[in-house]
Amino acid sequence: MEKEKAKNGSWIRTFKNAFAGCWYAFTTQKNFIVHFIVSLSVLLVALWLQVSYERFLFLVLAVFLGVTVEMINTMVEKTVDLITQEYHPTAKIIKDLSAGVMLVVSVGVAVIGFLVIFPPLWQRFF
């Protein structure tokens, strides 16, 4: 019974663990930090440009998608490292695929950011 209680925990413990995971990503993963800073900058520029609510919503969704996939990429890498510390061709493929997913999402997020920010930015300066 005690083991079941410890496994389920409380809502506070659940959120504490979730925030610990976010903090781990923010403090140890340089790509996560870069993604976060660039995303925050784009959102601030969008606010400055007063983009429409709908366009801003696309940016927010893109930011959350990028951050989420970056964290999943970290999970995959840490899981592979837990299973084997030695070089293994299949482990390399798994890590490469995970990084490839992040690359594809990053390109998509960048395209969304460009499509939302560029037109009002162009109008503001030209």
- Domains (ranges, CATH) in the chain? 2-125 (1.10.287.3610)
pLDDT at 10: 87
Tell me the average pLDDT across 91-117. 96
Contacts made by residues 50-56, CB under 8 angstroms, sequence distance 24+:
50/120, 51/116, 51/117, 51/120, 55/116, 56/116
Q: Which one of 2, 4, 54, 70 is the catalytic residue?
A: 70
Q: Structure tokens of 117?
A: 């920010």
pLDDT in tens, 78-100: 999 999 999 999 999 999 999 99
pLDDT at 1: 47
Is residue 5 pLDDT above 80, yes or no?
A: no
Q: Structure pTM?
A: 0.83
pLDDT in tens, 23-61: 999 999 999 999 999 999 999 999 999 999 999 999 999
Active site residue 54: no
Element of type H or E holding 8: helix 2-8
